[in-house]
Amino acid sequence: MTKIKICGLRRIEDIEYANRLRPDYVGFVFSQSKRIVSKANAKTLIANLDAGIKRVGVFVDENMNTVCEIVKSLDLDVIQLHGDENASYVDNLKKIIDIEIWKVLRVKTSEDLEFETNADKILIESFAKGAYGGTGISFDWNLAEKFEFRKPLILAGGLNASNVEEGIRKVRPYAVDVSSGVETDGYKDFEKMKEFIEKVRSL
């Protein structure tokens, strides 16, 4: 069954929704974004999150020591590198912390999918100039459909309850990742989260 990640949780209501709907992963954004959370706020949110839901920290071109400090302080399960971190960054991060790492590829052409990395999983989403995630824009899924990935794949970018089934059928990902697609006026919407998760789990 395709795993589900709901990203950009920042309110206690978001945590309550997650606890009721039970996605496999939830994401906390620690980079400049309208969904950014402080370490202190994330600590409160995580304290109220069901222990069975994995916690993902989203970072963009962050200092490795800062990443490690936040990960250890909050006992995160996954690091998601959402910026322009190169293969060397991933290798060096793996040397100093033992945790699953996801590397994001922002896709414009098929060449963007050829990035070599020792990350444990690859997350693919659309390229948007000056933006790192949460844009609600999808890319040409045909590019991923024809590409042979060497790592488990997470599909993101413009997903919502209306198109997630098509995305899963075309790309056959390990997981799907949604943020703006389950929001109303910039905030997580319980009914949209519920519909999205039900669609994925019905396949």
pLDDT tens-digit profile of 133-175?
A: 445 566 677 777 666 778 899 999 889 999 999 999 998 999 9
Structure tokens at 90: 């991933």
The CATH number assigned to the domain holding 50 equals: 3.20.20.70
Closest to 76 (Cα-Cα) out of 84, 68, 66:
68
Report which DSSP code applies to 146: T
| pTM of the shown model | 0.91
Structure tokens at 88: 């060397």
Element (H, E) at 58: strand 54-59
Give the C-alpha separation, 173 to 188, whole Å: 23
Over residues 86-95, the pLDDT tens digits come to 999 999 999 9
Residue with the bigger pLDDT between 124 and 79: it is 79
- Residue 13, φ and ψ in degrees, nearest 5: -65, -40
Q: In which domain, by residue range, is 96 found?
A: 3-202
- Residue 8, φ and ψ in degrees, nearest 5: 85, 30
Give the C-alpha separation, 82 to 62, whole Å: 10
In the chain, how many domains are there?
Answer: 1
- What is the percent of the chain where pLDDT is above 70? 88
